[in-house]
Chain A
Amino acid sequence: MAVRKTKYEMPEQDPKERIKNFREVPYGYDAETAIKEAQRCLQCKDKPCVDGCPVGIDIPRFIACIAKGDFDKAIEIIKEKNSLPAISGRVCPYEEQCEGKCRLGKIGEPVGIGRLERFVADYEREHGVKIPERAKPTGKKIAVIGSGPAGLTCAGDLAKLGYDVTIFEALHAPGGVLMYGIPEFRLPKEIVEAEVNYITKLGVKIVYDVVVGKTIPIEEILEEYDAVFIATGAGLPRFLGIPGENLNGIYSANEFLTRVNLMKAYRFPEYDTPVKIGKIVATFGAGNVAMDCARTALRLGAEKSYIIYRRSEKEMPARDEEIVHAKEEGVIFKLLTTPVRFIGDENGNLKAVECIKMKLGEPDESGRRRPIPIEDSEFKIKIDTALIAIGQSPNPLIPQVMKNLKIGKKGNIEVDEYCRTNIPGVFAGGDIATGAATVILAMGAGKKAAKAIHEYLNKH
């Protein structure tokens, strides 16, 4: 029988409907479709897909289990490598990773690996999560700073190895960017909570309302714990640095998304935190965060939601799926356009943005063609709200209080390939070490760090 060339469809909420709610967009596969999709897998002996996976999940093996209908075994295989599959099954850039390496991709669409991961993770959550056995307690204590994807992964792996792990979280909820950054319609918070719950069932303690370096000095942590993993993420928002940026109506993506996601401002006034959205919203930037902003704006009632980006569609850093979803929902893309200044009224409220047209020149250091302003092409767009989604820098709090820690040019903590910093016993990983990247890379770093910490403590 010839292999089907396209993925089995994953049903989604109708775009016209979904822009009126915050519910998740794709519904996920049912068991029957999952089995059919799994049967598309060629079970390549050399497993190219595994090379594309930052955490090294044995993809063909778990897919073979799904194909046989053994979902329990499938999730067990995933969880050998990935403690948070319901999350990565939703937000991973599969097309660049596992699915990008899939042989089927050469003759049609790759196997829907992400969809299958998501399916078994959801299946397990609905049918009761099995807690794996833990190793004998080692008697050693580890502090993890930050409960985002890197911190959670590292903590989970170390707990399984028998360590006494405490995560210190600055906010009132766990998950870091999974909670404050990624919107409900892309990653339901109920799922984040369930995945965090799994980590705590492994024995990990999470302490909230603790800003390490402020609430507890870093020296006390270093003294009390045998090893420390710093996973404080890339929380520092970047701004455009153009005139008028402090007018009312201009938010960093972080502020906008934190208000909506973490503080649930989309349910104001039931929830106390407000968010103000005008009729016309412009999001600056074209990464995943920008798509999240533009799509959230529509759901909050914006009549028009623009993405304004200085390069062309080809250079947009967002995942394909996010761009497709944004377009389906009516987000308007104004490409090769860059803002020059914001214009406000007499009360300091944003009224318009002046932009300039761009053209693409020679490739720059990033390999993408450099945008160049076209002279005398300035024009104004009337907007009520601006969302700045041009990236985040590593959180400066820990570097500020740990003076002897080696810091890179971008404010990131410098680490080697084992997530080791220059201070023995202090490890770092995720966005704090790499600068803003993806959830799965952070999880990969968390895994690597757990292994390195285990080795370090075996020697000390």
Chain B
Amino acid sequence: MYKIIEKQVLSETVKLMKIKAPLVAKHAKPGQFIILRIDEKGERIPLTIVDTDKKEGLVTIIFLEVGKTTKKLGMLKEGDEILNFVGPLGKPSEIEKYGTVVCIGGGVGIAPIYPIIKALKHVGNHVISILGARNKDLLILEEDIRRWSDELYIATDDGSKGEKGFVSDVLQRLINDGKKIDVVWAIGPVIMMKVVSEITKKHDIKTIVSLNPIMVDGTGMCGGCRVIVGGETKFACVDGPEFNGHLVDYDNLMQRNKRFIEEEQEACKLAGVI
């Protein structure tokens, strides 16, 4: 059992939790994820590790309440326990000194980009962060990210915070302004990663994205999370979750993420969580 030590409500649908999982905390690196199962009848879902407190053995997760499991998770309180919590899974981000790195986080994708921003800054990169959200209430971790960024840009769909528009617009502008960019890291909705990758491909800027397909075991056993990268089938759980953004077949990923949409809706309805 894994205890919820702290819970924060970041927005109506986005929650942060610090979970007591000393082994995961001890070995986790930026870019890796965990799989959790709330209770005996629960499903296994992957969530990216946002932060760790190695001394206290805590792992921070942030999640958007989209389906039955995340909604149920959001209802748990400090002191409650989660039945299973396994990790760190996946390959860590390749953190090194690239020069100038643009880190883009969209929506709840801001959570997984945060530890990468921190790590990239730590090894001496010039970090430009671009955060995007539908509106200002859904924008998370702004102050944490500001602390580790040399430059910070914010875009919201409705213009309620920062500039009105998309993170890709900001990136395009930076490129147009002649900013020398060595690497772009983008995590967020699939469509956002697709658009960002299209822009950077034109300018030949190395781009890393973190993919979020449906997973079951998370250890390379089921192949449910398979994605097409450079024409080859890869398992996001063991070969990723980060891949070269220019090689990912985003359309296939979007399709595969809709595999169980009807079942998800049914489960939510029956559980009374929508």
Chain A contacts to B: CB under 8 angstroms: 170-172, 180, 208-211, 214-217, 235-237, 239, 245-248, 251-252, 254-255, 258-259, 263-264, 268-274, 276, 347-348, 395-397
Contact with A along B140-180 (1 / 0, CB 8 A): 00000000000000000000000000000000000000000
Is B87 at the interface (CB under 8 A from chain A)? yes
CB-contacts of B228-274 with A (<8 A) = 228, 233, 238, 252, 255-256, 258-260, 263-264, 266-267, 270-271
Contact: B222 with A252, CB < 8 Å? Answer: yes
Contact: B233 with A214, CB < 8 Å? Answer: no
Contact: A347 with B88, CB < 8 Å? Answer: no
CB-contacts of B155-210 with A (<8 A) = none
Q: How far is the CB of A254 from chain B (nearest CB, A)?
A: 5
Contact: A272 with B41, CB < 8 Å? Answer: yes
Identify 16 residue pairs between A and B in the complex whose beta-carbon atoms are under 8 Å apart, listed by A's number.
A214-B88, A215-B24, A215-B27, A216-B23, A237-B222, A245-B233, A246-B228, A248-B256, A254-B221, A255-B223, A259-B216, A268-B267, A272-B42, A347-B255, A395-B219, A395-B220
Q: How far is the CB of B23 from chain A (nearest CB, A)?
A: 5
A232 to B30, CA, bound (A): 26
Contact: A214 with B223, CB < 8 Å? Answer: no
Checking B23, B223, B259, B263 against A252 with a beta-carbon cut-off of 8 angstroms, the contacting residue is B223
Report A-chain residues with C-beta under 8 Å of the C-beta of B264. Answer: 274
Contact: A170 with B86, CB < 8 Å? Answer: yes
The interface on chain B, measured as residues whose beta carbon lies within 8 A of the other chain's beta carbons, has a size of 42
Contact: A274 with B86, CB < 8 Å? Answer: no
Report B-chain residues with C-beta under 8 Å of the C-beta of A269. Answer: 263, 266-267, 270-271
Q: Beyond A235-B220, A270-B41, A396-B220, list 12 extra A-B contacts (CB 8 Å).
A: A172-B44, A209-B85, A211-B219, A215-B23, A216-B27, A246-B256, A259-B216, A269-B263, A271-B43, A272-B42, A272-B68, A397-B220
Is B113 at the interface (CB under 8 A from chain A)? no
CB-contacts of B21-50 with A (<8 A) = 23-24, 27, 37, 41-44
Given contacts A237-B222, A255-B223, contact A211 B42 (CB under 8 A): no
Contact: B259 with A263, CB < 8 Å? Answer: no
Is B60 at the interface (CB under 8 A from chain A)? no
A269 to B272, CA, bound (A): 12
Contact: B86 with A248, CB < 8 Å? Answer: no
Is B6 at the interface (CB under 8 A from chain A)? no
Checking A208, A248, A270, A276 against B84 with a beta-carbon cut-off of 8 angstroms, the contacting residue is A208
A160 to B196, CA, bound (A): 59
Contact: B222 with A254, CB < 8 Å? Answer: yes
Contact: A348 with B84, CB < 8 Å? Answer: no
Contact: A251 with B224, CB < 8 Å? Answer: yes
Contact: B255 with A348, CB < 8 Å? Answer: yes
Name, among B69, B89, B224, the residue most crowded by chain A CB atoms within 10 Å (CB to CB).
B224
Contact: A210 with B86, CB < 8 Å? Answer: yes
Given contacts A254-B222, A255-B223, contact A274 B263 (CB under 8 A): yes
Is B226 at the interface (CB under 8 A from chain A)? yes
Contact: B216 with A214, CB < 8 Å? Answer: no
Contact: A276 with B216, CB < 8 Å? Answer: no
Q: How far is the CB of B128 from chain A (nearest CB, A)?
A: 31
Report A-chain residues with C-beta under 8 Å of the C-beta of B228. Answer: 246
Contact: B84 with A395, CB < 8 Å? Answer: no
A254 to B42, CA, bound (A): 19
Report B-chain residues with C-beta under 8 Å of the C-beta of A180. Answer: 217, 221
Q: How far is the CB of B193 from chain A (nearest CB, A)?
A: 18
Contact: B222 with A217, CB < 8 Å? Answer: no
Report A-chain residues with C-beta under 8 Å of the C-beta of B68. Answer: 272
